[in-house]
Structure 1
């Protein structure tokens, strides 16, 4: 479910407040994704970058810098860096997952090929590091390069954790930190760093991004099961069919009796899924209360993100960031 499905849209208010910065970032992205020698690079990149994404991650960098009083230009370079890292990971993820659709459109690997997607992703990572260096700030280079490493590490961990019923909640958290939260955290943190804020403010921004990212991913994982009520609807059960171990299943497996465990071994570990298995899986999650528990976990991470903002300077953009943390879990109500 997209963020547009909720009633209130704080990211749109943020877009309006940051319109000039976003226009400059978009121009910078178009300029830096160009290539004189390999026209396929801007073709593939434009297909994804201009596909209607909300630019939430780069907006968080811009918002964090602006609410901290920053008046320079480097935050725009960092916002473009964040978007390039995000786009590169999407290109690579679609190859790994053999995806055919992204944001309602055919994926780049489907329209071109896997080699093009991987190599263009590599190009965008290289461009992102060029932009980081141009800021002249070694600490933001350290933060964003670490985030890129965590993202890659999380993807590899997910490969080894997938279909393994021994996967723990700690491993799940590590996976979703790599998958989503690491870039949210870095995007917010570098905004404070480039604005020259004291360490407590920088750490608070990082904590906000981490909590926001985890809440967002947990909400997505729960919605794949139809939300906390477990109501089967359109696209419900994609994670089950792909044998992904998300928090509701991890907890249900931990509490399973012998017959229930045999069901999870057959459907998740062995991939032997039959008619009615999705409904059976849903019934087990409801019986063990793991859907509602996951909802509570997502809400707690959202609240943690909001709590961190108390250390951040008062600003209309801070209020929008607070509302955004509500917004990513409002889909669960």
Structure 2
């Protein structure tokens, strides 16, 4: 079953998620996680496993379990909790893509801090034809795309060679200095892009203006969903709308690969999207130029298996472990 995992996960009620796929789990295994493939009656899922001294095992299920309703999540947890207890697990962290506001009161879970950055996001509906998708964009987005194209911005789909990955990384460094977010080491991106590109599940894009590289993007396709995984641009904006036109070309590619929903992967929440003091306000403005509606999910949830251990982990130990891991490896624990 494991060799066919990428045909099993898309059969989940949520249609599957790229973070539950084979490549992502291989990458997590390389960073020190053990991987458990679990099949319940309702959904198949991958649990990332680590041992915590004196406490036992933790499981992290990124963007899963792949359920579509709270009833389905209840059914999964009814199977998962006793199974996890037998394996020596003391807590499970889950991230089902259920809408914020879903009734979770009857579930044995505790709300915790988000891990994946698209617990609030913008999704572009790609079910209509491209002409209709373009017409459905907010006016600001349409104008920026057409302006950039008219001014001579060009976009190329490029191979994830070491040279191109290095170019993308330099854009990352420049963007992170302006936006104030952390980036991983270049080997991470090089390996990530290479693996997904070789599998036909990813594509690197470069945008040029007057022969100069001004922006880059990396997108993923998994089943019938696409994801704007990474984006970066030069700090000096030499032309208006280059990143918008780049994203439109990503959308064209995603549509050609069979995507029906394109996740722009991370914005402020709907309640914070217009807050100019939010650290990602600019990012939110850009992404809502493709769809004004922000989709909020429930985010990360803790499922206590051994109650006192789980609470100790959440209140004290997890913070220490995450801090020590970041100090040593300069990347997120999860």
Shorter-chain TM-score tier: under 0.3
* TM-score calculated relative to the size of structure 2: 0.28
The structure whose residues are more often helix, as a share, is 1
The structure whose residues are more often strand, as a share, is 2
